[in-house]
Structure 1
Amino acid sequence: MDDLSTLLRAASDNAPPTGIDLDGLITLDRRRRRTRWVTAAAAVAVIAVLGAVHLSPGRPRSSPAEVSSPSAAPCTHATMPSSLPDQPVTPLPETQEAAVARLTAELPALLPAGARSTRCPRVEFYYEPKGDDYRASAWVGTGKDEYSLAIMVSPATPGAVPHCLNADGEACTRIGQPGGAIAMADLVGTDTAKPQRSVTVFRPDRTTVLIAVIGRTKALPPATRLATIGSAPGLTLYP
């Protein structure tokens, strides 16, 4: 599976992201012809996770929910295509359940005010075995300024060189962070109604945090803000 467009199409069939210009993303991919598996899998994960925050036509969106309500009912989450294999589980200092609870507890201080889920009573992290990572998604804002947000927290790939999710060269911006973290930012789909801004933070604590937002360009948080979120001390897999 070295064609990202194939993976993107599979993800859309699994969890239709109605607010994402999938064809535009595929066109961008065909221009780049990126064939690295890790990058492709991450891009599919972003599409699938962001697809979870979009509702089917005619269904009202839920009102803003408390992010950390301990009494919230279990959420339903987007799933990756069944054709993708589960990834080997990276040994971590805590159980998956403990990591989910701890990471979720960090969200109220990190997400913009009014961030909400459309598929569950709260915004929370969950573990995805096909990526061996932890994910959360939300809607932010209202009306024309509404955008979708996804966060993926994963163990760092040994020897990984900091890189952008979707872009190369001048389109890929490096943002230094306190404590030695490196954030790589890009913005793609600017010729579509809803571009995607992605920031990947390569942290010295062996954790990688990917944050992606999709919406009108003027509504999207700046890359520096997303880099700050991805550098938050609590978003680590090695507490």
Structure 2
Amino acid sequence: MDELARQLRTAVASPPPTRIDVDRLLADDRRRRRHRVWATAGTGVAALVAAVVLTPALLVGPAAGPGGPTLPTGDGSPSADAALCPVAEPEPSGPPAPQQSYDTVRDRPTERPDAGVARLTLVLRPALAAVVPAGLTVHGTIPGCDPVQFTYEKSHWHYYAHARLRGNGQADNVTVSLIPTAVDASEGCAAAPDPRTCTSSRLPDGGTLTTSTVTPGDEGFEQRWAQVQRADGTTVTVTTDNHHIEGGENGVPPTFRFGPPPVLTVAQLTAIATTPGLTLHP
């Protein structure tokens, strides 16, 4: 991974100057890899039931049927599209990561993480489906779980979901995250990946919408970014990019590549970020 970091930094070091956050790219990929490891580590020890637990996020609602747990729809009836995937993870081998401590503009949410995962997943799936162009399909990144769904990151107090849009030669990454807004959080274009291509505006409810696009030189990387700091104390960030890291596991050297430019526009990311149900304070 150190060599990959060196290559990435070298790739973006030549003019024109950009604000590619290489460390963020690597951190995001490590988080995606760690998520895959958590989800698959229990496979080899399936016989040792005591060593594998189901995450609380899956223990919501009535007993699961053959297709896995389901989330209630607005009219109270189950929907096959809202099924949550059972994700097995091993017992931690060491102490858990410490929770980050920071002051927030509002008291932290009291909603249980498992309930939050279910509620936010039910909101996100149709919000994504509403903006994805014809010919593309939405896939989650949890092994064995094709639909996209949220995960709760306890150490950073936030929810995130990774999706991949496939079809017509595309393999775009889409990430949606929700976090309590910090008292000292950067506002407007100060938080953008590239302030030079940033716009920021006040929303009717008092929140702030900020958008940015990063297109650095000839390297091929492109990222679009939309962030809403809601008046209720929730920060929602939606990004899409064409950056892919492959290998780097089981002794295979990592490689990176850039796909075609992402298909989702800033306006479509904004539509997702401003979806009313994507909040930590329902």
Establish whether residue 213 from structure 1 lines up as the match of residue 240 from structure 2: yes
Establish whether residue 235 from structure 1 lines up as the match of residue 278 from structure 2: yes
Count, aligned residues: 199
Aligned counterpart, 2:155: 130
Please give the alpha-carbon distance, in whole angstroms, between the structure 2 residues aligned to 1:208 and 1:151.
11
Aligned counterpart, 1:62: none
Cα distance, 1:206–1:43 mapped onto 2, change above 3 Å:
farther
Q: Show CA shifts across 1:85-132 (max 9, x none).
A: 531387313111111111111122111352112424121111113322
Q: Show CA shifts across 1:135-174 (max 9, x none).
A: 0001113243320101110001124323333122x32222
Kept in 2: contact 1:172–1:186 (CA 8 A): yes
Moved more, 183-192 or 200-209: 183-192
Cα distance, 1:200–1:52 mapped onto 2, change above 3 Å:
farther
Establish whether residue 200 from structure 1 lines up as the match of residue 223 from structure 2: no
Aligned counterpart, 1:106: 123
1:157 to 154, 175, 182: 182
Moved more, 129-138 or 157-166: 157-166
2:112 to 65, 83, 95: 95
Please give the alpha-carbon distance, in whole angstroms, between the structure 2 residues aligned to 1:193 and 1:146.
14
**Structure 2 residue ranges without an equivalent (≥5):** 37-79, 90-94, 243-258
Please give the alpha-carbon distance, in whole angstroms, between the structure 2 residues aligned to 1:177 and 1:224.
14
Kept in 2: contact 1:50–1:150 (CA 8 A): no
Please give the alpha-carbon distance, in whole angstroms, between the structure 1 residues aligned to 2:164 and 2:138.
6
Please give the alpha-carbon distance, in whole angstroms, between the structure 1 residues aligned to 2:23 and 2:234.
17
- Using the aligned pairs only, state the percent identity: 23
**Structure 1 residue ranges without an equivalent (≥5):** 1-8, 14-20, 55-65, 77-81
1:159-178 equivalence runs, <5 A: 159-160=184-185, 161-162=187-188, 163-168=190-195, 170-178=196-204
Cα distance, 1:32–1:203 mapped onto 2, change above 3 Å:
same
2:99 to 86, 95, 100: 86
1:59-78 equivalence runs, <5 A: 68-70=82-84, 72-74=85-87
Deviation at 1:33, TM superposition (A): 8.4
Cα distance, 1:184–1:41 mapped onto 2, change above 3 Å:
farther
Deviation at 1:178, TM superposition (A): 4.5
Kept in 2: contact 1:67–1:123 (CA 8 A): no
Please give the alpha-carbon distance, in whole angstroms, between the structure 2 residues aligned to 1:175 and 1:50.
31
Kept in 1: contact 2:158–2:179 (CA 8 A): yes
- Provide TM-score, normalisation by structure 2: 0.57
Aligned counterpart, 1:117: 140
Q: Which secondary structure does the structure 1 equivalent of 2:83 belong to?
A: coil
Cα distance, 1:100–1:25 mapped onto 2, change above 3 Å:
farther
Letter in 1 for 2:162: S
- Provide TM-score, normalisation by structure 1: 0.66
Please give the alpha-carbon distance, in whole angstroms, between the structure 2 residues aligned to 1:196 and 1:182.
20
Kept in 1: contact 2:208–2:229 (CA 8 A): yes
Cα distance, 1:42–1:199 mapped onto 2, change above 3 Å:
farther
Q: Which of the pair is proportionally richer in strand?
A: 2
Moved more, 153-162 or 205-214: 153-162
Establish whether residue 147 from structure 1 lines up as the match of residue 161 from structure 2: no
Q: Show CA shifts across 1:209-229 (max 9, x none).
A: 111111256433111211121
Aligned counterpart, 2:210: 184
Kept in 1: contact 2:207–2:230 (CA 8 A): yes
